[in-house]
Amino acid sequence: MGITEEHRIIQVDERDTVAIVVNEDGLKSGSLLKNGIRSAETIPQGHKVALRRLPEGAPVMRYGEIIGYAARDIAPGQWVREELIRMPEPPQLSGIHPVLSPPAFLESLDGYNFEGFRNTDGSVGVKNILAVSTSVQCVAAVADHVTQRIRRELLPKYPRVDDVIAIKHDYGCGVAINAPAAVIPIRTLQNLIRNPNLGDEVMILGLGCEKLEPQRMTLYPDKSSDTADIIQLQDEAFRGFSGMIENILTIAENKLTRLNRRRRETCPASDLVVGMQCGGSDAFSGITANPAVGFAADLIVRAGGTVIFSEVTEIRDAIHLLVPRAADQQVARSLLREMDWYDRYLELGEVDRSANTSPGNKQGGLVNIVEKALGSMVKSGTSTIADVLAPGERVRKRGLVFAATPASDFVCGTLQLAAGINLQVFTTGRGTPYGLAMAPVIKVSSRSSLSRRWHDLIDLDAGRIAGGEASIQEIGWELFHLILAVASGKHQVAADRLGLHNDLVLFNPAPVT
């Protein structure tokens, strides 16, 4: 990565024909860049400057890859903005032959531990939470009511329980419950209950006449289906609302008693299941925050732990770079299968992957989804892809795992929780107050100006990499240590400190009736 000191620009790969402006006040017109090139106009921070003449049709290169083609002649030093770049076609899936060249085996990393809550199925929680799940939207307000009362009246008596949360959603009835794609929201709800931070003590509120019968949601394989955990509001034993609530609070108190007996114990870093996500990306995301996250991902994998990366539309244009990293042909085929499923899902909605990039991404310097994807996929680090999960599936292998999800922050977060993450790392360039109630979210900013402005919302500043104050490796190690501290309950992330938790959002590609 070359940095020119006077006017800071970053060229990631020597083949690149554009570089990113680092200076917070942008690049003034006439600034000397390199090889005698001067900027032809004023260019804002995060945006691209042409490093050479690009005749119409010439490839525009960033990260050593083609992010588009010059829509007309571009002069050296010119601001290479969105309208000057024609987006390339996505890699044809049928043209990708899974020739595997798995990355070199990474050296193992021993001796790193955290203090977590060991569950009966072997998974480890980093929080000790009571959850009230719901089988249908009809009971959502009741779930809110009881969680508020539990928090106010019961939780103070059980100091070792971190929180009580409601798992609410708009699914459960008025849907084509047997449609092939309904398997996604249903297994998501089943697997959310099994999230390691919930200690096998979830209760389920149902109504009684809904399509998604609450019995379908209990899936503890090592527990006989515990129907005592299911409360149906239409149960004829209940006299009025107060009768329902009394019953629910009694069950909750039993569960709180059991959860309160749990203690943290020393667990190896191999018990970590860390989800990686980004939201509100900018042109810095791919050179600061995401590479540092990728470095930390490699450290977790080297320690024997699990890293989950996702967001189909943000890796689709880089899929030709990911398939060769598959552990075997089966994993390679699964990766291509998930890309193909999503291509057809978008086609059905009459959009393509360019629907992904937001106005904020573009203001932040990203011209299109190809550039965004190349910067996004580096969150996965460099290791072999051990497994691929379809949306809503639960993790079954250690190492680096791709869990197919939309890129939407809330949908991806929900599906990663269902996949079984105990913690999430979230990178942002534009800034978002994003947080999850079920798992701590460590927010990493791609630029220092955001970290300064949002000093109490951002957990780690990766912008120091662009400023030359820290290396990718240094921030990666810092993040790894922060993950262990958060997993141990020794450090509270900003979103938890402030109580900022987004709603869960189910992915339901099946028809609503």
- The residues binding Ca ion (CB under 5 A) are 279, 407, 409
CA atoms within 13 A on the CB side of 6: 8
The smaller minimum CB distance to Ca ion, of residues 123 and 281, is found at 281
Measured between alpha carbons, how far is 135 from 229 in angstroms, rounded to an integer?
12
Task: Annotate 149-212 with DSSP letters as a single string.
Answer: HIIIIIGGG-TT--EEEEE--S-SSSB-TTSGGGHHHHHHHHHHHT-GGGTT--EEEE-SS-SS
> Hey, what's the torsion of the CAs at 35, 292, 420, 259, to 10 degrees?
-150
Least distance (Å) from Ca ion to the CB of residue 293?
A: 13
The smaller minimum CB distance to Ca ion, of residues 355 and 512, is found at 355
Least distance (Å) from Ca ion to the CB of residue 356?
A: 9
Please name the helix (run of DSSP H) or strand (run of DSSP E) that holds residue 9, with its range, or none: strand 9-11
Least distance (Å) from Ca ion to the CB of residue 363?
A: 17
The smaller minimum CB distance to Ca ion, of residues 161 and 412, is found at 412
Least distance (Å) from Ca ion to the CB of residue 407?
A: 4
The smaller minimum CB distance to Ca ion, of residues 279 and 365, is found at 279
Least distance (Å) from Ca ion to the CB of residue 409?
A: 4
* Cβ count near 187 (within 10 Å): 17
Least distance (Å) from Ca ion to the CB of residue 284?
A: 16
Reference 311, options 180, 424, 430, 439; nearest CA is 424
- Both tokens of 102, joined, read 């798995």
- Both tokens of 461, joined, read 């500043």
Least distance (Å) from Ca ion to the CB of residue 140?
A: 25
Max CA distance (Å), the chain: 84
* Cβ count near 93 (within 10 Å): 16
The smaller minimum CB distance to Ca ion, of residues 79 and 309, is found at 309
Least distance (Å) from Ca ion to the CB of residue 314?
A: 7
**400 contacts 307 by C-beta, under 8 angstroms:** yes
Measured between alpha carbons, how far is 369 from 159 in angstroms, rounded to an integer?
47
The smaller minimum CB distance to Ca ion, of residues 371 and 409, is found at 409
Q: Tell me the residue type at 362.
A: K
Least distance (Å) from Ca ion to the CB of residue 357?
A: 12
The smaller minimum CB distance to Ca ion, of residues 358 and 473, is found at 358
Least distance (Å) from Ca ion to the CB of residue 376?
A: 9
The smaller minimum CB distance to Ca ion, of residues 200 and 409, is found at 409
The smaller minimum CB distance to Ca ion, of residues 162 and 459, is found at 459
* SS3 label, residue 428: strand
Q: Which residue is nearest to Ca ion (CB)?
A: 279
**276 contacts 285 by C-beta, under 8 angstroms:** no
The smaller minimum CB distance to Ca ion, of residues 51 and 412, is found at 412
Pairing between β-strand 203-206 and β-strand 129-134 as defined by DSSP bridges: parallel
Least distance (Å) from Ca ion to the CB of residue 78?
A: 31
Residues whose CB falls within 8 Å of the CB of residue 159, separated by 6 or more in sequence, listed in order:
260
Least distance (Å) from Ca ion to the CB of residue 424?
A: 11
- Both tokens of 156, joined, read 């103070």
Q: Tell me the residue type at 503.
A: D
Distances (CA, A) of 165 to 22, 45, 130, 132, 197: 42, 41, 6, 6, 11
The smaller minimum CB distance to Ca ion, of residues 31 and 376, is found at 376
Measured between alpha carbons, how far is 313 from 226 in angstroms, rounded to an integer?
39
Q: Tell me the residue type at 207.
A: L
The smaller minimum CB distance to Ca ion, of residues 189 and 425, is found at 425
* SS3 label, residue 367: coil
The smaller minimum CB distance to Ca ion, of residues 43 and 378, is found at 378
Measured between alpha carbons, how far is 304 from 118 in angstroms, rounded to an integer?
17
197-217 as b/e, with b when 16 or more CB fall inside 10 Å? bbbbbbbbbbbeebbbbbeeb
Question: Which residue in this structure is represented by tokens 């620009």?
Answer: 9
Reference 468, options 293, 285, 297, 287; nearest CA is 287
Least distance (Å) from Ca ion to the CB of residue 411?
A: 8
